[in-house]
Amino acid sequence: MRIKWFSGIRVVGLVMVLLYHFYITQFSGGFVGVDVFFTFSGFLITALFIDELQKKGTIDLLGFYRRRLVRIFPPLLLAVLVSMVFTLLVGKDFVADIGKQIAAALGFTTNYFEIANGGSYENNFFPHLFVHTWSLAVEVHFYLIWGLLVSLLGRSISRSDMDERLKLSRFRALISLLSLLFLVITFLTMFLRAFGLAEYSPIYFSSVSHSFPFFIGSFLATLTGVKNVPKNFTRRVAKWSTKQTLIVFFSSMAVLVILGLFLNFTQRFTYLFGFLLASLATAVMIYAARILHEQTPNIQEPKVLTFFADISYGMYLFHWPLFTIFSNKINNNYLAVVLTLVLSIVLAALSYYILEPLVVGKSPKLFDWDLHWNWRYAGIPLAVVGTLLLGTTVTVAAGAPKMTSLEQQLWTSHLQQDEDALRDMRELVDQKKATEYQMKKGVSVIGDSVTLGVRQAILDQITDSRVDAAGGRRLEQANAVMAKQQKKKLLREYVIISCGTNTFSDYEQRIKELINDLEPGHKLIFVTPFDGRADETWDSQKLANFERTLPDKYDFITIADWNKIAAEHMEIFVGSDTTHFAGNPEGEKLYLEMLQKAIAEAKAKPVKSNQD
């Protein structure tokens, strides 16, 4: 039984994810589209379990697992194989360690693969082509565990001597309580852990902390359902007018749009309340759509809506690797979006209407139209195409590097940095290089991965310089490094702080702590952070604006405005992400010129005194 208007919910979730990936600065909270899918999936699976118990008196767990596998795995495998062909268009940085990514995707463990490897949904140097399958992994984990628990409950209920109607009522009640229990546990896991984390990807990817939307959906299923619905729901259908139902449906949709416009992946609010609000809004949409189905018996769902709902899963699988490749290859985001959409629609439709029916031995069908083709003769060409796709995938994976060129450069810089630390220890008591405050002359640079990428160039071009940089470093970590160097008398006269791309909303507090903790005798230079995806709502951009105000308050502070310079020279990021330019000679030149200019400006300024 297909419920009309449920297609609208699937399409809303898909559009939100697409807008997020295509236009992240304009639709920064579109990632909650995944939570729309999670909530709807929890509802649908649980409602179907209830219907199955009512119809058959038991739940076929193995049958459920088989149906899910057949629905999920063929499109996933096709997406992986096709995507690997398109990687031939781009450099090897995009397929670095691709074999492990493929294994994680096909093994439904991408979420924990990303956690284990320190991955971030937004901040990888080169986006993993299959990072989006993290949500598929979470969904499969839900199916495995929830399916087992519900089937055990169904088995215990079916063996009882109760009346059939009472059995179903008891089953609904138990599912409802179990859903609420898991909802509270998993939501609190995300809520409480959000206070102790500076990087939120571990709780975003986790199957434990990010599974509460499923249980919101499963709880809703006990209140409504698909075929079998309780009396309270039937009475609600009679009480609501169609106009009221439409107002509720579109109001909850509006809430999702607002969340998509204003939520941000790096804001704590998103993890405390954002995902919960998105899931609750989706639950309201589901409830309203289920009522609307009953209220519109003579109205058919538009076929275009049904079509995009049918292929929504396939489009989700295909769009991310294709867009990652096209947006790198084509210096035109609009064209990359169009190509991605066209190919994703075609490939997803082929998968849903042709490949998936063939896998289960059915005749391909488009809507209600049987495609009467003689598929016996399609076996050989399909086998040839499959062999070519598999061969390309194996070839690309076998020749893929273990690390991207940027990661290799950063790794080398880390080793050289360790050598510099030993050299500094040997020079610790070199009074010839000391200022009147008894500190080493020269420049100490404390930075993140951007700085690490140009570390050697800084050492070559800036006299008496020392660089301590690390990927993902935040302001509070930079302060800890500075404090450690001060304690060991290694911090030099000029202190350059080049962190902030990974900042959070407490940036003002972190900056003030760093300024206060800096000992007298130093001159401080802040490098404003740059992220090409950021708009004025991003914390990194707010930090850059805040840092520009500091010289007016502190006469020993100078600003090296990389945020402004980089924005005027986006060509240095071609072939990389929009944050790192390591290996680009023009980028290194601009960065060094900026630092040298800032140091020259700082020379005319006083050092920090005991009164500051």
pLDDT in tens, 343-357: 999 999 999 988 888
Beta bridge mates, 366: 369
Question: Percent of the chain having pLDDT more than 70?
Answer: 89
Average pLDDT over residues 123-130: 72
- Residue 584 to residue 237: CA distance in whole angstroms: 63
Residue 332: is it exposed, middle or buried by C-beta count within 10 angstroms (0-12/13-18/19+)?
Answer: exposed
- Residue 477 to residue 475: CA distance in whole angstroms: 5
**Is the pLDDT reported for residue 431 higher than 60?**
no
Question: Taking every pair of C-alpha atoms in the chain, what is the biggest distance, in angstroms?
Answer: 94
What are the distances in angstroms from CA 578 to CA 108, 571, 575?
29, 10, 9
pLDDT band at 125 (very low <50, low <70, confident <90, very high): low
Residue 377 corresponds to which tokens in the numbers above? Answer: 């003769």
Beta bridge mates, 440: 434
**Is the pLDDT reported for residue 416 higher than 60?**
no
Question: Percent of the chain having pLDDT more than 90?
Answer: 56
**Is the pLDDT reported for residue 373 higher than 60?**
no
Please give, one letter per residue, the 3-state secondary structure of 132-149.
HHHHHHHHHHHHHHHHHH
pLDDT in tens, 454-494: 888 888 889 888 898 887 788 888 999 999 888 888 899 99
What pLDDT does 501 receive? Answer: 79
- Residue 318 to residue 82: CA distance in whole angstroms: 9
| C-beta of residue 215 within 8 angstroms of C-beta of residue 182 | yes
pLDDT in tens, 211-234: 999 999 999 999 998 988 888 888
> Taking all residues of the chain, what is their mean pLDDT, rounded to a whole number?
87
What pLDDT does 10 receive? Answer: 97
pLDDT band at 358 (very low <50, low <70, confident <90, very high): confident
pLDDT in tens, 263-320: 988 889 999 999 999 999 999 999 999 999 999 999 999 999 999 999 999 999 999 9
* Residue-range domains of the chain with CATH: 6-399 (no CATH), 405-603 (3.40.50.1110)
| C-beta of residue 154 within 8 angstroms of C-beta of residue 171 | yes
**Is the pLDDT reported for residue 429 higher than 50?**
no
**Is the pLDDT reported for residue 187 higher than 70?**
yes
pTM: 0.77
609: CB partners within 8 A, 6+ apart = 520, 556
- For residue 249, the one-letter residue type is F
pLDDT band at 424 (very low <50, low <70, confident <90, very high): low
**Is the pLDDT reported for residue 30 higher than 90?**
yes
More confident residue, 427 or 86: 86
- Residue 349 to residue 310: CA distance in whole angstroms: 8
| C-beta of residue 146 within 8 angstroms of C-beta of residue 173 | no
At 280, which helix (H) or strand (E)? helix 275-295
More confident residue, 460 or 124: 460
**Is the pLDDT reported for residue 558 higher than 80?**
yes
- Residue 557 to residue 431: CA distance in whole angstroms: 26
Other Cβ atoms within 10 Å of 117 Cβ, number = 13
Beta bridge mates, 573: none
| C-beta of residue 533 within 8 angstroms of C-beta of residue 25 | yes
Average pLDDT over residues 372-385: 63
What pLDDT does 263 receive? Answer: 93
pLDDT in tens, 559-581: 999 999 999 998 888 766 678 87
Residue 68: is it exposed, middle or buried by C-beta count within 10 angstroms (0-12/13-18/19+)?
Answer: middle
- Residue 184 to residue 308: CA distance in whole angstroms: 33
